[in-house]
Amino acid sequence: MRSVRPHNTRKAGLSPGTLAERESIGTAAFITIMSYNEASLEERNITNLDELKQYKTSDKVSWINIDGTEDSESLSKIGEIFNLHSLLLEDISIAGQRPKVDDFDDQLFATLNMLSYDDKKNCISVEQISIVLGPNYVLSFQEAGGDVFDPNRFRIRTSKGKLRKSPSDYLFYTLIDTIVDNYFLILEKIGEKLEDIEDALIAEPTEDILNELYSIKRELILLRRSIWPLREVLMKFEREEFEQISPTTQTYFKDVYDHTVQIIDTLESFRDLSGGMLDLYMSSISNKMNAIMKVLTVISTIFIPLSFLAGVYGMNFENIPELKNKYGYYIFLASCFVIIVSMLAYFKKKKWL
């Protein structure tokens, strides 16, 4: 989440619908398949893309997961096999898309951001995921390996819940649901960090806290950019009638939509809270400055006049009568004492001490 640049880097002027031809150092796409119905489950990896054709017409539900969207050659082939629209392929191949949903005749196409918290780097990592829902298959395209779908795989394997008994649109739904659920984990992490910062702030505001606060604000800004369009996408699932999605599954989308709204609410609260903390920080800094200045002023105000007095009696005028007074020195000390005490009383009254 370092980069603040927009990722959509299709070379300006490229023919629309063209796959971005990256430096082909990109590793080849890695494809796994889970093909199931209530009774049976087939799970395998594929290297020969032609084998994919059978899943297009199979009567089982097939979840075809492709890791590595940089492999434009494989993408084109898959596009050919499943009749994917050229604009759709372009969207898959270019990272940094805005979350959206598109309806292509018998296919439904959704692009989302898969967020996960990278504990090592202590930051949020974003990966674009594109999901295509076809009549009896779901294609999921990920930028790289490693995802949040292990629970889904587990449920398919163990036949838990209604997943194995349901058509492909329910699988489509559970994938999206899992992605959105992961956002809560991110929020929880941020919430924890905010609480830590708050505690630290109230104890002792330091510049480190400020930087941490800033980096959280930064994360919130980038999260917002991911999640606001997501809400629109899910609203479409809830409100519009996509023929690819059965009414039964549509009711489930209502639930995911509710979660997104809740996520946005929380995000906004976090924004407000971090704003409030910044105010608190600034005020604390001002207060500390005041405290420092008070010390300086008290010390200066007491001793600068006294120093002047001492300076006076350190002068070498031949005729300074006080100097010859036997008790002159003691009178001087007494005067100093009186001045100090009355000054302190004055500052006490002014509540500077």
Site for a second copy in 143-162 (CB under 8 A): 148-152, 154-155, 160-162
Cα–Cα distance for residue pair 64/163, rounded to 1 Å: 16
- Listing DSSP states for 310-336 in one string gives HHHTT---S--HHHHSTTHHHHHHHHH
C-alpha triplet 163, 129, 2: angle, nearest 5°: 135
Q: Does residue 92 sit in helix, strand or coil?
A: helix
User: Which parts of 206-245 interact with a second copy (CB under 8 A)?
Assistant: 207, 210-211, 214, 217-218, 221-222, 224-225, 228-229
| Cβ(147)–Cβ(128) below 8 Å | no
CB of 346 to a second copy, least distance (A): 10
Binding flag, residue 316, a second copy (CB under 8 A): yes
Cα–Cα distance for residue pair 336/321, rounded to 1 Å: 19
Binding flag, residue 270, a second copy (CB under 8 A): yes
From 10, 56, 77, 236, residue interacting with a second copy (rule: CB under 8 A): 10
Size of the site for a second copy (CB under 8 A): 123
User: Which parts of 317-346 interact with a second copy (CB under 8 A)?
Assistant: 317-320, 322-329, 332
Cα–Cα distance for residue pair 288/347, rounded to 1 Å: 18
CB of 33 to a second copy, least distance (A): 20
Considering the complex, state which of residue 119 and residue 308 has its C-beta at the smaller distance from a second copy: 308
User: Which parts of 59-88 interact with a second copy (CB under 8 A)?
Assistant: 87
Considering the complex, state which of residue 120 and residue 351 has its C-beta at the smaller distance from a second copy: 351
Closest CA to 36 of 61, 15, 54, 55: 61
Binding flag, residue 177, a second copy (CB under 8 A): yes
Considering the complex, state which of residue 66 and residue 197 has its C-beta at the smaller distance from a second copy: 197
User: Which parts of 117-146 interact with a second copy (CB under 8 A)?
Assistant: none
From 24, 255, 334, 345, residue interacting with a second copy (rule: CB under 8 A): 255
Under 8 Å CB-to-CB from 260, ≥6 apart: which residues? 180, 183, 227, 230, 231, 234
